[in-house]
Amino acid sequence: MKKLLLMSLLFAGIGFGQTVNDAVRLALPGLGSGARAMGMGNAFVAMSDDGLGMNYNPAGIALVRRFELGAGFKYSNVQNNATFFGNQLQAGNTSANLDNFSLLFPIPTLRGSLVVGTSFNSQHDFTGKMDFNGYNGGNSSMIQDLNGYSEIPYELYLTDDDYNTKINGKLNQAGSRLQSGSTGVWNFSVGYEAYKNLFLGLTLGIGNGSYENNYDYHETDPLGTYTGTVLAPGNSFTNDFKKFSYKTLLNWDISFYEVKLGMLYQIKDLARVGLTIELPRTFTIKEKYGVEAASYWGSGREVTIDPEDYKSSVEY
């Protein structure tokens, strides 16, 4: 059952169009931003008394009494182990990015406090990598799956003229999924003391970023199961199938905006109570998607599709 579940996850999303995975990818909150806040498990809403407050609770920046400049960087190292038909592979990917940057300017007032500032905070980190490789002795393959909704197997001479294929599984299946990219938001904030020990704040955020997902997949016939079987009648070279390859490239240009309202009440020097209200976030995605595929034969012949026929560019 676990093998079948992994197979479905690997092959999910190879078609065109937006899926629920795209929404989940952007909806996840990420690990947070700032060493101090992350060290507190992001329980920073009632603290927020430095530049990070613009991202967590803008009311908290009103506690700052002097000019403040801060910055931080982050390094991600993602390691992943995948077991596929009993074969385990390890893969990894790394990235280094600006994590946060902040400027705070207290404005002199007769009573209370007024602080304005701007900051950059990282949000999503899409770094990831997975490799898998194993022999599937069952009767399923991506060639068969694609043949149900695309002409790629036909264009690669893996079917007859009626779109029937003699491929019936029993292939070695291997692939790699490489993910990269990140998003960040520029915040413009104001915090002030509305009443003694009661602070209010507002943050307007403008964000952008990118996401790239490269999927490289191969099916081979190591046991010669289809040697001597003509897959496309009338084309003698198709009697010695060796390999099928399939590649996809998904690229996003991401932009969004957000609004946060904050409140913080300080109970003398004993405790603080904080509240942040974040309005619904709106994303705009400019997406480019492409497919490359090829078949390889014992004669040395290679057949490819025209990638221009499988490119799309949309905005939503």
Write down the mean pLDDT value for the chain.
90
228 neighbors 142 (Cβ within 8 angstroms): no
Question: How far is residue 34's CA from residue 123's CA, in Å, rounded to a whole number?
Answer: 11
Note the pTM of the prediction, 2 decimals: 0.84
Bigger pLDDT: 181 or 26? Answer: 181
Q: What is the CA radius of gyration of the chain?
A: 27
126 neighbors 177 (Cβ within 8 angstroms): no
Cβ neighbourhood burial of 48 (10 Å; 0-12, 13-18, 19+)? buried
Residues belonging to the chain: 316
**pLDDT confidence bin for 305, thresholds 50/70/90:** very high
By mean pLDDT, which of 39-53, 140-154, 251-265 is the weakest?
A: 39-53
**pLDDT confidence bin for 16, thresholds 50/70/90:** very low
pLDDT > 90: percent of the chain: 77
315 neighbors 287 (Cβ within 8 angstroms): yes
Bigger pLDDT: 4 or 131? Answer: 131
Mean pLDDT of all residues in 23-39:
82
Q: Write out the DSSP string of 12-62.
A: TT-SSS--HHHHHHHHS--S-S-HHHHHTTT--TTT--STTHHHH-GGGGG
